[in-house]
């Protein structure tokens, strides 16, 4: 400002002008500070595959998980937390916040040769998080369909996707076979299923998947711009079959005198190690202090692949507690000190993460979406009561108590011998279903494969499984889960009015369900037609 201008304004006016400029500068700084402060935290969401309830250290397991135990002890353990009994349904409910009866995935997982995927009309979790400014990355297993490009994760809200699209594969080669039971000539197709965004990642053949996924997750974190919130979705292959692990991880469990169980325990060890490396990288890059980390199973442990759900009843692909009660915890510096190191016994389901992450953590909204889920943020962070009063575990009209079924050990698939039955107009208790309302749980039809309704202790204990009392032609079971979490005392004969009330709720849910999406498998998916690759074919 020149001398003439100063004279014109006068000293008083000049001082006022300078004070005003200083005030504007201060307000700008405060505004920028508030913008930084209001940035939502980073979210790292880790999913273990087929992980048994018993097989985490803090459940007094014979398998050691020091990293998971420590993280859980610094956050909130979820001890009344539920998932779906198999892979695709759990992942679909996480990604949409909707029951599988409302997306058509109520029968089974999405099988590689099927022209099927999570309905394209569904809004996904990463799509909603992007509305709140998140960078979204997938490292690991998708298993929500890939038969056409629109079904792939890059078209469903992820900025990057690294891993495999189907449900299972070899840990070293990243090849998988197909097709599956009841489909022509059996399990003879073989092709690679490993992707780096839109490119088939042949170069990782021969590298153990857990190590590869860990390295990619670390790279995503290291290359992330800390000024933008990060959503890292890390659905690991471990500990799904086949049972494969580098030998050094098995050695601490040689005393089991059971090679298969020792292999499974070694796979758990690689998963525990992987989570530790991801957290270390978050700390090294300065992201950890602004991170919420969530760990969950997708379903109960598979008995055929050495997963143990003791003392819960049942296994993967059953509606008993061993199939649907999930290991889970939420941790990280963003968890308030008042609830760190606690256990929450508030009722929660895997679908509840959808609104919890979008509204509770990201500060977004879910208006206009038809959800079957609840925002649990206040429940988890303040220890308040759960807004969830009931949970539909599932209704599967394709599994009926009066039909004959086969079973595929590799996929844990129950399938009718002959054609699938038609969907009925009305709910019937011969349908495979389960519902939880308050303390009560009702199961109907055939809750799981015959013989999988037992209590299976860890093989290393050398204890015989406990068999339930068989009642011919029985299609309803009722339990008070709060008093009897192990489902030992069936109360259906003592409380017929409760059975009637819960059957009516199932009938209402069934009326709201959409037709099952379970198309026939097709030769068009054969990797032999696509240069040895499992890839979109439609």
User: Is the separation of the CB atoms in 66 and 252 below 8 Å?
Assistant: no
Examine the residue annotation and report whether 224 is marked as an active-site residue of this protein: no
Pairing type for strands 195-196 and 76-78 reads: unpaired
Examine the residue annotation and report whether 143 is marked as an active-site residue of this protein: yes
Pairing type for strands 230-235 and 195-196 reads: unpaired
Please state, in angstroms and rounded to a whole number, the distance separating the CA atoms of residues 278 and 531.
34
Geometric angle at alpha carbon 407, from 402 and 410, rounded to 5°: 160
Q: What is the 3-state secondary structure (H, E, C) of 91-122?
A: HHHHHHCCCHHHCCCCCCCCCCCCCCCCCCCC
Catalytic position from the list 42, 87, 174, 240: 87
Q: What is the CB neighbour count within 10 angstroms for residue 130?
A: 18
Name 338's Cβ contacts closer than 8 Å, sequence gap at least 6.
Answer: 383
Q: Which two tokens stand for residue 86?
A: 């198999």
Q: Measured between alpha carbons, how far is residue 280 from residues 71, 228, 276, 289, 292 in Å?
A: 12, 20, 6, 12, 14
Catalytic position from the list 143, 174, 240, 393: 143
Among candidates 165, 84, 29, which has minimal Cα distance to 391? 84
What is the DSSP secondary structure assignment for residue 278, as one 8-state letter?
H
Q: For the chain, give the number of residues.
A: 538
Among candidates 158, 436, 420, which has minimal Cα distance to 321? 436
User: Mind telling me the catalytic residues?
Assistant: 87, 143
């Amino acid at each position: 400002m020149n001398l003439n201008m100063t004279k014109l304004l006068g000293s008083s006016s000049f001082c006022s002008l300078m004070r005003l400029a200083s005030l504007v500068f201060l307000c700008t700084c405060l505004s920028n500070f508030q913008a930084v402060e209001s940035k939502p935290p980073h979210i790292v969401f880790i999913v273990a595959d087929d992980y048994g309830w018993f097989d985490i250290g803090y459940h007094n397991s014979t398998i050691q998980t020091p990293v998971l135990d420590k993280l859980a002890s610094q956050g909130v353990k979820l001890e009344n937390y539920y998932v779906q009994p198999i892979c695709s349904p759990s992942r679909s409910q996480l990604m949409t916040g909707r029951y599988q009866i409302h997306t058509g995935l109520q029968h089974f997982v999405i099988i590689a040769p099927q022209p099927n995927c999570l309905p394209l009309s569904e809004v996904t979790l990463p799509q909603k998080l992007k509305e709140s400014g998140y960078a979204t990355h997938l490292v690991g297993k998708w298993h929500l369909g890939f038969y056409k490009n629109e079904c792939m994760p890059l078209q469903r809200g992820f900025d990057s996707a690294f891993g495999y699209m189907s449900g299972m594969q070899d840990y070293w080669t990243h090849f998988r076979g197909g097709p599956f039971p009841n489909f022509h000539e059996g399990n003879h197709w073989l092709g690679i299923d490993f992707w780096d965004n839109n490119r088939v990642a042949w170069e990782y053949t021969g590298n153990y998947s857990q190590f590869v996924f860990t390295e990619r997750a670390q790279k995503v974190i290291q290359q992330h711009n800390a000024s933008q919130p990060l959503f890292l979705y890390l659905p690991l292959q471990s500990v799904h079959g086949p049972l494969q692990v580098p030998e050094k991880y098995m050695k601490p469990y040689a005393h089991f005198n059971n090679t298969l169980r020792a292999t499974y325990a070694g796979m758990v060890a690689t998963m525990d190690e992987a989570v530790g490396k991801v957290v270390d990288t978050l700390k090294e890059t300065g992201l950890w202090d602004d991170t919420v980390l969530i760990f969950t199973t997708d379903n109960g442990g598979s008995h055929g692949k050495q997963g143990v759900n003791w003392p819960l009843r049942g296994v993967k692909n059953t509606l008993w507690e061993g199939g649907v009660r999930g290991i889970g915890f939420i941790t990280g510096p963003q968890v308030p000190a008042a609830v760190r190191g606690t256990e929450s016994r508030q009722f929660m389901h895997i679908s509840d993460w959808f609104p919890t992450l979008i509204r509770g953590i990201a500060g977004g909204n879910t208006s206009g979406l038809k959800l079957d889920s609840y925002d649990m943020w206040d429940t988890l962070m303040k220890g308040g009561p759960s807004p969830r009063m009931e949970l539909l575990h599932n209704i599967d009209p394709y599994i009926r108590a009066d039909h004959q079924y086969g079973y595929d050990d590799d996929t844990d698939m129950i399938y009718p011998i002959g054609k699938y039955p038609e969907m009925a107009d009305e709910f019937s208790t011969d349908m495979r279903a389960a519902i939880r309302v308050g303390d009560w749980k009702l199961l109907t039809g055939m809750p799981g494969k015959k013989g999988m309704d037992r209590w299976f202790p860890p093989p290393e204990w050398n204890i015989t499984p406990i068999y339930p009392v068989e009642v011919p032609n029985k299609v309803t079971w009722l339990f008070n889960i709060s008093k009897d979490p192990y489902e030992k005392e069936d109360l259906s004969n003592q409380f017929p009015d409760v059975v009637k009330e819960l059957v009516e709720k199932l009938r209402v849910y069934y009326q709201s369900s959409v037709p099952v999406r379970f198309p026939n498998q097709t030769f068009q998916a054969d990797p032999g037609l696509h240069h040895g690759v499992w890839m979109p074919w439609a």
